[in-house]
A and B are shown apart, each in its own frame.
Chain A
Amino acid sequence: MQLRNSPGASDVCSHTDHSDNPNKLSIKSKLSMATCALLQAGAPTAQAESGEWDVDTAFLYYSEDARISVFEPVIRAEKEIDEGEFVKFKLVYDALTGSTPYGAAPSPSAQTITNPSGNSTYSVAPGELPLNNSFKDTRVAFSGDWTIPLDRLKQITLGANISTEYDFNSIGVSANYAQDSHDKNRTYTVGLGVSAETWDPVGGKNTELAYMIDPEGSTPQPKGGSDTKSNFDVMFGLIQVINRSTIMQFNLGHSTSSGYLTDPYRYISIIGTDGLPLSGADLVNAGGPDAFPYIYEKRPDSRARNTFFWRTAHHLTEDVINVSYRYFTDDWGINSHTLDFRYRYELGGSHYLQPRLRYYTQSEADFYINSLTATQASNVEFASADYRLRELVTTTIGLKYGVGIGKNSEFTVRAELMNQTYTITDPNLEANNLELAPDLDAVIIQLGYHFFW
């Protein structure tokens, strides 16, 4: 959740004088009030008047090259219901279709893989990276926030959220406390959040590290039912006005997750000494009758994450630079750096262009593995071939255009290109001209319309 106010924003006009006699307002206070009146008269974008809903809508189209496509509309509505007291609601719908890699390595031979439901199989041509093409899901998420002013300098925001999809449900609550300094140039924040999530995988939860079974055989696939996990977040923040044109934010966050953190659908290829998937008697000996050369992944049942986040907005003569950096580290061995840079270039007449560059790099998880031998598979404690746990780099470049329409609304459109590259190598696969980790390319298009109602 985001802070409602920052010291440099709407608090600019909330300065009050504590003199008992209104006729004895200080010069400072009178200047402040006069300036606020001027600012509001000439504000570049309208703000919600009392009783009005501030409505922000967006439609996202995300499409990977020959893989997943996502359609995601969002509507957010916010209203001041009393002085300094706000309610905010957000409704999100997600529709995903397409194909995605579930962890199997490519092979010079054709592969047969059991579908997530466990009832059927699909074939992968020789040399191709296996992709599960039955990936399809819809998700609905709803959240609400209630901001309550405690006094002139303090406020608390209580939030709740719920989301549901075919095989996954989440419910959470949060509380954020914010306190301004007396000159309102600094804000201290503390946030707490807890959530509970439930996996109810299609066809039941696959037993971790168990071999994938051919559904057309007579051996049953080891399965469980649903499973749960919980998350706890705490965050300490500081927002500081640096000078008349610069504001800065720092956050330190700590999160823990516990429970079933495995991805119930992902698996790992089992290879022989030649580095290629097992077959024949070797596979029967390793996995038993009806086994395919894959085992389902297993992750640790706890994860602790720490983040440091810094963001600055700086106003040039007309344009605005917004830059942020995040350092992330966890006890799964993942360390990452994220740099995000936006430059808002004012075209005049309420039009603007905003180029954007995002650069992300992460190290690989301790238990990430391209593939396992049968011996490793029978001894390993944790293992995953999920491409998102690899050492990787994501680069996004984009451009956004925004235009004010009339006094009270704004239209925006952004187009971005995302590229993800992986630094892993697999000499055995490369010797067979097989590519384990081709780049992932995606297009991101977002339309936005913001108005008051």
Chain B
Amino acid sequence: MIRILLITSVITSVQGLSACTTVQPWEKDLLARPSMALVPDENENFLDEHIYFSKEASSGGQGVGGGGCGCN
């Protein structure tokens, strides 16, 4: 069931990309706000990844590189 949902969401998302609006540079006022950054707080993101890396069996997904840890 979860796989079906995942595949459906991916297909829907990819279809959604083809329907993207062309946003002109002068229309990017909202997108340019710091609060709209994909990662608005890098330190929070880094610390969260460290916490959950040490408490769960999954990691990664957001990027490559970063420091290793003997905690897991």
Contact = CB atoms under 8 A, between A and B. Distances in A.
A334 B20 CA distance: 35
Interface in B1-40: 2, 6, 9-10, 13, 16-17, 20-40
Secondary structure of the B contact surface, majority rule: loop
A392 B29 contact: no
Interface string A218-233: 0000000000000101
Secondary structure of the A contact surface, majority rule: strand
Contacts of B46: 74, 90, 92
A420 B37 contact: no
Interface stretch (A106-114, A123-131, A237-245): A237-245
Given A170-B67, A305-B60, A327-B6, A320 B25 contact: no
A172 to B, nearest CB: 6
Contacts of B9: 310, 325
Interface residues of B, number: 56
A394 B65 contact: no
Nearest to B6: A327
Contacts of A309: 61-62
Contacts of B30: 244-245, 315
A352 B63 CA distance: 28
Interface in A146-204: 159, 161-163, 165, 167-168, 170, 172-174, 176, 183-185, 191-193, 195, 197, 199
Interface of A: 1-3, 6-13, 15, 28, 31-32, 34-36, 39, 43-45, 56-58, 60, 62, 72, 74, 76, 90, 92, 96, 137, 139, 141, 143, 159, 161-163, 165, 167-168, 170, 172-174, 176, 183-185, 191-193, 195, 197, 199, 231, 233-235, 239-245, 247-251, 253, 255, 263, 305, 307-311, 313, 315, 320, 322, 325-328, 330, 332, 334, 336-338, 344, 352, 360, 362, 365, 388-389, 392, 394, 400, 412, 414, 418, 420, 440, 444, 446, 448
